[in-house]
């Protein structure tokens, strides 16, 4: 199965896209292996104005719950930029394989990404409990 065709559709806010593109252009980031994965995710995303982002989509600084499909293990995470990342506090960087995989997913979607030792990991987003793009919307 072609890995690209197996990936679910994703949505990205124009403001997140601009910030992530700036991050990927930094010399210390542009040659990281995850940078290419993240660039691929950006290229396949449907980009929306922040005001039009659905509330159930993972954006930067979203708090979410996801479940490993193989083990059923639940994770409570916040998707962050590298400076705010702290995996012990559940803050996962966009510059990790898992962080780049979660960006733009909607509740109910499942995504696979390369895990340690080359094995594939799969998670399903079950809740987006906070999404900054929708704060203040009624």
Provide the CATH number for the domain around residue 50: 3.10.50.30
Residue 137 resides in a domain:
no
Residue 87 resides in a domain:
yes
Strand duo 46-48 + 11-13: pairing? parallel
Residue 17 resides in a domain:
yes
Domain count, the chain: 1
Residue 1 resides in a domain:
no
pLDDT score, position 120: 82
Residue 138 resides in a domain:
no
pLDDT score, position 97: 85
Residue 45 resides in a domain:
yes
Tens place of pLDDT for every residue, the chain, 138 residues?
334 446 789 999 999 999 999 999 999 999 998 899 899 999 999 999 999 999 999 999 999 999 999 899 999 999 999 999 999 999 999 999 889 989 999 999 998 877 767 778 899 999 999 998 776 554
Give the length of the chain: 138
pTM listed for this prediction: 0.88
The boundaries of the domain holding residue 111 are 7-132
Query: What are all long-range contacts of 19-23, with beta carbons under 8 Å and residues at least 24 apart?
Result: 19/60, 19/81, 20/60, 20/94, 20/103, 23/81, 23/82, 23/94, 23/95
């Amino acid at each position: 199965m072609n890995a690209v065709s197996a990936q679910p559709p994703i949505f990205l806010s124009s403001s997140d896209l601009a910030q992530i593109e700036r991050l990927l252009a930094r010399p210390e980031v542009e040659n990281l292996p995850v940078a290419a994965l993240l660039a691929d995710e950006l290229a396949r995303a449907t980009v929306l104005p922040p005001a039009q982002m659905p509330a159930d989509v993972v954006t930067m600084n979203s708090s979410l719950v996801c479940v490993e499909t193989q083990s059923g293990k639940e994770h409570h995470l916040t998707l962050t930029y590298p400076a705010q990342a702290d995996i012990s506090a559940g803050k996962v960087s966009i510059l990790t394989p898992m962080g780049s995989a979660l960006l733009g997913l909607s509740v109910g979607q499942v995504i696979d990404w390369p895990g340690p030792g080359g094995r594939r990991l799969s998670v399903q987003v079950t809740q987006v409990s906070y999404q900054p793009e929708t704060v203040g919307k009624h």
